[in-house]
Structure 1
Amino acid sequence: MQLTILGCSGSLAAPGNPGSSYLVTLADSTSIVMDLGPGSLAALEGAQNPSDAHVVFSHLHADHCSDFISLLIWRQYHPEMAARSRNLMFGPTYAPEHFGRMGGNGPSDIIDFSDTLAFGPWVPHQKELLGSATITPFPVLHPAQESYALRVEESNTGKVLTYSGDTAYTQELVDAARGADVFLCEAAWGPSSEGMAPDMHMSGGEAGRVAREAGVNTLVLVHIQPWADKEETAAAAAKEFDGDIIVGYPGQVLDV
């Protein structure tokens, strides 16, 4: 299993860094895109044909999903690389209506994309099979309705990748990350969450705490807001977690 960071800027895109989007490549089955933040489709185009991927969403804030309609245009209208069959899509229960309105031509127009993507809603803690991987959603603490951390397990190797999505500290996130080989974790608040809005995001220190409590191998810090200090964020994480810590960046490729 291989992870490519398509974009990891926190809360909004930054120059050279799209919003949250991560490509999981599997040895013997279709790849999986987790989230599609602003600017991420162009990055996906540089990695593979965007039509050849399953799509999953941690939640539906714009910085994690706004390029979905662009993906639909590619899948349906590209003259050479349009989708030849349906792929799977998982996300919050209201995703079809949410995206249907985004792609519509007016306030009462809701498009139907079921011809190109087969949608299934996340059920908390229920594994879903996507080729040679399973994904288990864990409900987390974030203002968006139905926010999840996603635990990706490769069936033939036993490798585990956990993606926090957006969340404040919660035991559900610790459970989702338990024993993960790679823990892709948000640290939007930077070095400290002091004075920040509650129940929304984590700091580097809190990400490190989750990594320590979950016993992960490698912590990858992402979703750091453009104005936060990345080095100080990593230093705060290191005070809590003595394992490997990486600050994620767009285009980075990690073997899980």
Structure 2
Amino acid sequence: MKLTVIGCAGSFPGPDSPASCYLVEAPFEGRTYRLLLDLGSGALGNLQRFCDLRDIDAVALSHLHADHCFDMSGLYVFSKYHPQGALAQIPVHAPVGAADFLACAYGTHEPAGMTEQFDFQGWQDGATVRLGPFTVTSVLVEHPVPAYALRVATASHSLTYSGDTGPTEALVELAAGSDLFLCEASFVESATNPPNLHLTGAEAGDYATRAGVGRLLVTHIPGWTDRAEVESDVTGRWTGPYDLVNAGSSYDLG
């Protein structure tokens, strides 16, 4: 199981990274299965440095904010109009209503919207779906729009992705025992932060500690936020291994 950070900038693309997108790979039926967690603004270009877009098997969208899903428009164009012919339909798991939302965002007026290329399936709170070698469990978290944290597991390894969330105990339960905990930390403790929107580094560290994860991967830090302050907040609550991730970083779980 391998995780590659395609984009990790919080809220909008930054000068050094696209917005949220993570490539998860594992062996499956004699080949490599490729699952995308989110496909935010600017991510599609960088993704092509790491795989052929024709080899994407499935997409899991945590929620429908631009920095997590708007490059689905580009993937649709690639999928539908490739000069060698349209690609086969792929599953897209996302909050209910994603098919209409993304078709509107792209501007398609075709009766089928994007459904010829994407098989949209709605997340259910606490449910698990099978995607190739992965079991993916979705749990509703705290955000202004329906948003889900995702646990992606094989028979031997697991990672939990917070998506975007404000403080919620659901994240501790979902992440329990994960090898990797990919957790957002958009806020700093020294600020007066809006409620039910994002986490601080201290909250991410606290959740990692209580969930007993193997490694904390801190992500979704906006370009206007001091990474050093986020890191200081993290280490005040977490003493295990961690990284403030960068675009292009990869983590191989064997």
TM range (shorter): over 0.9
Aligned counterpart, 2:141: 140
Q: Which moved more, 1:124-133 or 1:21-30?
A: 21-30
Kindly indicate whether the alpha-carbon contact (under 8 Å) linking 1:101 and 1:110 is maintained by their aligned counterparts in 2.
no
Aligned counterpart, 1:208: 205
Does the alignment pair 1:192 with 2:189?
yes
The number of aligned residues is 249
Does the alignment pair 1:243 with 2:243?
no
Q: Which moved more, 1:204-213 or 1:46-55?
A: 46-55
Aligned counterpart, 1:36: 39
CA root-mean-square deviation: 1.5
Aligned counterpart, 1:179: 177
Aligned counterpart, 1:119: 120
CA distance in 2, matches of 1:114, 1:49: 21
Which consecutive residues of structure 1, in runs of 5 or more, have no partner in the other structure?
Answer: none
Runs of 4+, deviation exceeding 6 Å = none
Cα separation, partners in 2 of 1:188 and 1:111, compared to 1, 3 Å? farther
* Cα offset, 1:232, TM superposition: 2.1
Instruction: Specify the SS of the correspondent of 1:71.
Output: helix
Kindly indicate whether the alpha-carbon contact (under 8 Å) linking 1:184 and 1:222 is maintained by their aligned counterparts in 2.
yes
Give the letter aligned to residue 40 of structure 1.
Answer: A
Give the letter aligned to residue 44 of structure 1.
Answer: L
CA distance in 2, matches of 1:140, 1:110: 32
Aligned counterpart, 2:13: 13
CA distance in 2, matches of 1:220, 1:165: 12
Q: Deviations over 1:205-255 (max 9, x none)?
A: 110011011111100000001111112211211111111010100011111
Cα separation, partners in 2 of 1:211 and 1:133, compared to 1, 3 Å? same
Instruction: Specify the SS of the correspondent of 1:175.
Output: helix
CA distance in 1, matches of 2:112, 2:67: 21
* Cα offset, 1:114, TM superposition: 2.0
Aligned counterpart, 1:63: 67
Counting aligned pairs with the same residue, the percent is 36
Instruction: Specify the SS of the correspondent of 1:35.
Output: strand
Give TM-score scaled by structure 1 length: 0.93
Give TM-score scaled by structure 2 length: 0.94
Give the letter aligned to residue 150 of structure 1.
Answer: L
* Cα offset, 1:165, TM superposition: 0.2
Which consecutive residues of structure 2, in runs of 5 or more, have no partner in the other structure?
Answer: none
Kindly indicate whether the alpha-carbon contact (under 8 Å) linking 1:173 and 1:210 is maintained by their aligned counterparts in 2.
yes
Cα separation, partners in 2 of 1:183 and 1:101, compared to 1, 3 Å? same
CA distance in 1, matches of 2:218, 2:240: 13
Aligned counterpart, 1:226: 223
